[in-house]
Amino acid sequence: MMSWRLKFWEFLEAKLFTLPSSPELFNQYRDTDASFDLPGADAIRREN
């Protein structure tokens, strides 16, 4: 049986990580801001 934590993580990966940023909301798990972030910052945040 799959644990609720794994199910929740898969939900986040499928839903939250794929949503593009908008003018009102920056998705830090998908996008980066060259003015503030290191290269690959989105991947670093997902790994944390």
Each residue of 4-48: pLDDT tens digit? Answer: 999 998 998 898 889 999 999 999 999 999 999 999 999 999 888
CB–CB of 6/14 below 8 Å? no
CB-CB neighbours of 17 under 10 Å: 13
Q: Inform me whether the pLDDT recorded for 1 exceeds 80.
A: no
φ and ψ of 4, to 5 deg: -65, -30
> If you count DSSP H runs as helices and E runs as strands, how many of each does the chain have, helices first?
2, 0
The pLDDT of residue 19 is 93
The predicted pLDDT at position 37 comes to 95
**Tokens standing for residue 41:** 């910052």
DSSP assignment of 4-27, as one string? HHHHHHHHIIIIITTPPP-SS---
